[in-house]
């Protein structure tokens, strides 16, 4: 059995991590705080990343026309029916959630922290959108709740980063990871498999690189081509190759083998809205993908970190 597992999983799942840290079932409640993004408003770029949806990659975040407490309680009420003793982490998901003056960030974050059974916050953002003043506040926040900063990297390859209009460099990302870890703030990194023109080797290189950094978690996504995005336009014009389900499973299993064993896997596949998805269609069968990853790791008799050096 894998070191950080009490089930058939051969990688370090978020569910296992939460269960052993909090001695309870823990849910992340996705929220939309109405932030924008420096890659949309012209600060560093316009149009956003080419795969980013109209919701700012917050498809399952709350309705931004409702206040944050209402958003939170709507999700909480559903979860309580199944797990009445659960604890919660507020997940600021849509767009760039440190991209505002600190007084506004405080107002939004503290509102959620004040709710019953909230044990932490996850804040999704960009490495170029955390000011020094914000870092000071995040450091103070991390001393009184379980705080995680989620940084979107997607790939270490600059050519791809330019193509997807990421508008920040790998150096910028590295600098922010260092700044956050100097303040003992947990870091989770998002990557995407299947970005246009990337090879399997390139995707594995991204994970090898991240395994050497002081990060605490990773989110692995499959590229979703969604309606009304720049990526949809590129796909229709160029018909770049998308990954098959079998290719994705093979790549993820390879990545897990190179991933340092103490890095928590927060996500291992995408979860797009069916109504928005153009390709790949196999992404809608999330449970099947998860099961097939488990089967392939078992077939290989492999575990997370087995090839990490």
Closest CA to 122 of 141, 147, 140: 147
Average pLDDT, the chain: 93
Please determine, for residue 65, whether its predicted confidence score (pLDDT) is greater than 90.
no
| Phi, psi (rounded to 5 degrees) for 113 | -60, -25
**Mind listing the pLDDT tens digit for each residue in 166-209?**
989 999 999 999 999 999 999 999 999 999 999 999 999 999 99
Region 65-86 average pLDDT: 89
pLDDT, residue 2, reads: 86
User: Residue 30 forms beta bridges with which residues?
Assistant: 91
Q: Rounded CA gap, 117 and 80, in Å?
A: 12
Tokens (6 digits) for 28? 């992340």
Q: What is the mean pLDDT of residues 280-308?
A: 96
What is the pLDDT at residue 80? 83
Under CATH, which number does the domain 14-299 receive? 3.20.20.70
The pLDDT value given to residue 119? 97
CB-count burial class (<10 Å; 0-12, 13-18, 19+) for 34? middle
| Rounded Cα distance, 138 and 51, in Å | 28
The model's pTM is 0.95
pLDDT of 57 over the 70 cut: no
Q: What is the pLDDT of residues 108-167, one digit of tens each?
A: 999 999 999 999 999 999 999 999 999 999 999 999 999 999 999 999 999 999 999 998
């Amino acid at each position: 059995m894998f070191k950080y597992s009490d089930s058939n999983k051969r990688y370090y799942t978020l569910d296992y991590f939460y269960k052993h840290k909090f001695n309870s079932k823990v849910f992340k409640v996705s929220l939309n705080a109405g932030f924008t993004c420096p890659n949309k408003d012209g600060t560093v770029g316009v149009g956003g990343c080419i795969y980013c949806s109209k919701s700012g990659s917050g498809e399952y975040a709350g309705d931004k026309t409702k206040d944050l407490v209402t958003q939170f309680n709507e999700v909480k009420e559903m979860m309580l029916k199944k797990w009445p003793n659960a604890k919660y982490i507020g997940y600021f998901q849509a767009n760039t959630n440190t991209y505002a003056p600190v007084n506004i960030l405080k107002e939004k974050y503290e509102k959620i922290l004040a709710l019953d059974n909230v044990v932490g916050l996850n804040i999704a953002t960009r490495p170029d959108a955390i000011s020094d003043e914000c870092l000071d506040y995040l450091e103070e926040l991390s001393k009184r709740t379980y705080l995680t900063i989620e940084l979107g990297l997607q790939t270490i390859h600059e050519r791809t980063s330019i193509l997807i209009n990421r508008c920040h460099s790998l150096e910028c990302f590295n600098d922010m990871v260092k700044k956050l870890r100097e303040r003992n703030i947990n870091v989770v990194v998002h990557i995407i498999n299947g970005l246009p023109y990337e090879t399997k080797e390139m995707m594995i290189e991204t994970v090898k690189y991240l395994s050497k950094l002081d990060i605490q978690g990773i989110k692995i996504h499959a590229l979703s081509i969604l309606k009304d995005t720049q990526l949809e336009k590129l796909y229709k014009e160029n018909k770049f190759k998308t990954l098959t389900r079998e290719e994705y499973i093979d790549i993820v299993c390879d990545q897990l083998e190179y991933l340092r064993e103490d890095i928590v896997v927060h996500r291992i596949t995408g979860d797009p809205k069916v109504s928005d998805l153009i390709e790949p269609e196999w992404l809608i069968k999330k449970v099947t993908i998860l099961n097939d990853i488990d089967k392939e790791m078992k077939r290989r008799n492999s575990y997370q970190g087995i090839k990490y050096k």
